[in-house]
Amino acid sequence: MDFRYLPMTEQDKQEMLDTIGVNSTDELFSDIPEKVRLKQPLSLKQPKSEHDLKKELVQMANKNYNVKEYTSFLGAGVYDHFIPSVVDHVISRSEFYTAYTPYQPEISQGELQAIFEFQTMISELTGMPVANSSMYDGGTSLAEAVNLSAGHTRKKKVLVSKAIHPESQAVIETYGRGPNLEIIYIDHVNGRTDLEQLASELDEDTASVVIQYPNFFGQIEPLAEIREILDQQAKTMFIVSSNPLSLGYLTPPGKFGADIVVGDTQVFGIPAQFGGPHCGYFATTEKLMRKIPGRLVGQTTDENGIRGFVLTLQAREQHIRRDKATSNICSNQALNALASSVAMSSIGKHGLKKMAELNMQKARYAKQKFVEAGFEVISNSSFFNEFVVKLPVPVKAANDKLLEKGFIGGYDLATYYPELEGHMLVAVTEIRTKEEIDAFVKELGDIHE
């Protein structure tokens, strides 16, 4: 065997063919028409030894920019936050690291309890009575919420704010093709959802309204005003996508009458790691409890009266009749949900509020410094830890210069919003120091000049 990471030998292959009664691999694939079969070897490099392969991969990895060596002001949905060291210690334990879906409660109590605690903490943060045991990420969680609203109300029209994450908009459109949803986008005015347009588009055919809080530009949407508009149509559902860290300080969406609150717990214990994997959350009302996608972990007692945990209200097609299933989510993010649970537990309720406050305070300090340096900041006073700065040069050019100085710059909004050419979305988290903020503003100022 030349490569231990390709463990199948010719003898292994022949034994498998003999077992199923086939003489050769060609015979195994004989049902595939000749005209669609590959006639030549794949265009791949020759295999290397394990040592040479690892060396090449390390060389490739070292070309990447990372937040350990560079100071990051990049957010836009993935953030550089403090991660307590205990997180890696816990999730690296084999009983968690290698665990699969806990179908058998008698041998999965640790995993089930960890997920139950995750659900509990998400419920507390969002102000909603029920939360599931995690989703793939915030975008797919939001799309699942939209589809749920259409199925529950039996309506096809969905109003989506353009101030939600552009990638989430794309996921909603993809998920909405199956049930033929009519997605209508509501414009933003100075970084907030246009409430006049929202009110004019809202009618009795509207299944739901989708708002992000804080929104993609970092600004805090007026959920109370939006709730008043929605009350004109009693059956229209209110869906809010929310950064859970911000809810350590902001009033939770549940207090404003949200029907579904979703988001991503990457901000708790999950590194940026090139945009994934993440952990979505999905919280809702008791009325919609049986329509939640994915799984719920419930608390119960065994025959001896001892507290235990079980999977309950499973709405996947694997567990109930396919035509009754509300979701085809085929795996949960238990390991990342555990990471978030450990991070939230380590930080604590008071620590989480302090962490949210630090994000707000440091972001406001950075905004002040940008204004003092002569930059135009597109933001009102109600924002969390992100704001928009207008640059005199293309954002890509500025970010290239910043990398030379050891900074990962903000997000180029022109990527999805052509009208915002030259506008950078800057994220300031609790781990950014005064010195880093000052230096970042100075370097952008030098580019400005």
Sign of torsion over alpha carbons 410, 405, 369, 422: negative
Work out the angle at residue 381's Cα, subtended by the Cα atoms of residues 433 and 372, and round it to the nearest 5 degrees: 55
- Residue 328 is part of a domain; what is its CATH number? 3.40.640.10
More confident of the two residues 253 and 48: 253
Strand partners, 427: 386
Q: Are 282 and 135 part of one and the same domain?
A: yes
Residue 189 lies in a domain: yes
Kindly tell me if the per-residue pLDDT of 56 is higher than 50: yes
Position 127 confidence tier, pLDDT thresholds 50, 70, 90: very high
Q: What is the pLDDT of residues 145-187, one digit of tens each?
A: 999 999 999 999 999 999 999 999 999 999 999 899 999 999 9
Classify burial at 33, counting beta carbons within 10 Å of its beta carbon; exposed 0-12, middle 13-18, buried 19 or more.
exposed
Q: How high is the pLDDT of residue 203?
A: 95
Q: How high is the pLDDT of residue 381?
A: 72
Residue 186 lies in a domain: yes
Classify burial at 235, counting beta carbons within 10 Å of its beta carbon; exposed 0-12, middle 13-18, buried 19 or more.
middle
- Please state the domain count of the chain: 2
Q: How high is the pLDDT of residue 434?
A: 98
Q: Are 78 and 122 part of one and the same domain?
A: no
Residue 287 lies in a domain: yes
Provide, rounded to the nearest whole percent, the portion of the chain with pLDDT above 70: 94
Dihedrals phi, psi of 20, to nearest 5 degrees: -95, 0
Q: Are 289 and 202 part of one and the same domain?
A: yes
Strand partners, 390: 376, 423
Looking at 325, 343, 361, which one is the last position of a domain? 343
Residue 244 lies in a domain: yes
Rounded distance, CA 76 to CA 163, Å?
A: 12
Residue 227 lies in a domain: yes
Strand partners, 12: none
- Residue 377 is part of a domain; what is its CATH number? 3.90.1150.10
Q: Are 214 and 352 part of one and the same domain?
A: no
More confident of the two residues 45 and 414: 414
How does DSSP assign 370-436, residue by residue?
HHHTT-EEE--S-BSSEEEEE-SS-HHHHHHHHHHTTEE--EEGGGT-GGGTTEEEEE--TT--HHH
Total residues found in the chain within this entry: 449
Q: Of 80-84, 98-102, 433-437, which range is least confident?
A: 98-102
Residue 46 lies in a domain: no
Kindly tell me if the per-residue pLDDT of 16 is higher than 50: yes
Check if the beta carbon of residue 126 is closer than 8 Å to that of residue 283.
yes
Q: How high is the pLDDT of residue 244?
A: 98
- Spell out the residues 6+ positions from residue 150 whose beta carbon is closer than 8 angstroms to its own: 156, 158, 176, 179, 181, 207, 208
Q: Are 120 and 240 part of one and the same domain?
A: yes
Q: Are 360 and 321 part of one and the same domain?
A: no
Residue 9 lies in a domain: no
Q: What is the pLDDT of residues 398-444, one digit of tens each?
A: 999 999 999 999 999 999 999 999 999 999 999 999 999 999 999 99
Residue 33 lies in a domain: no
Q: How high is the pLDDT of residue 26?
A: 87
Shortest CA distance to 270 belongs to which of 333, 213, 356? 333
Q: Are 194 and 156 part of one and the same domain?
A: yes
Looking at 294, 323, 343, which one is the last position of a domain? 343
Sign of torsion over alpha carbons 228, 230, 232, 236: negative
Q: Which domain holds residue 213?
A: 86-343
Q: Are 307 and 424 part of one and the same domain?
A: no
Kindly tell me if the per-residue pLDDT of 95 is higher than 90: no
> What count of other Cβ atoms lies within 10 Å of the Cβ of residue 56?
12
Q: What is the pLDDT of residues 224-250, one digit of tens each?
A: 999 999 998 889 999 999 999 999 999
> What count of other Cβ atoms lies within 10 Å of the Cβ of residue 257?
17
Looking at 343, 362, 386, which one is the last position of a domain? 343
More confident of the two residues 339 and 381: 339
Dihedrals phi, psi of 400, to nearest 5 degrees: -60, -40
Q: What is the pLDDT of residues 273-325, one digit of tens each?
A: 887 899 999 999 999 988 888 888 999 998 899 999 988 876 554 555 666 66
Q: Are 312 and 440 part of one and the same domain?
A: no
Q: Are 275 and 302 part of one and the same domain?
A: yes
Q: How high is the pLDDT of residue 4?
A: 60
Rounded distance, CA 299 to CA 310, Å?
A: 7
Q: How high is the pLDDT of residue 1?
A: 44
Q: How high is the pLDDT of residue 328?
A: 58
Q: How high is the pLDDT of residue 274?
A: 82
- Spell out the residues 6+ positions from residue 257 whose beta carbon is closer than 8 angstroms to its own: 227, 238
Provide, rounded to the nearest whole percent, the portion of the chain with pLDDT above 90: 71
Structure tokens at 89: 């210690």
Summarize the confidence of residues 58-71 as an average pLDDT.
92
Q: Are 293 and 438 part of one and the same domain?
A: no
Structure tokens at 201: 């588009």
Q: Are 363 and 290 part of one and the same domain?
A: no
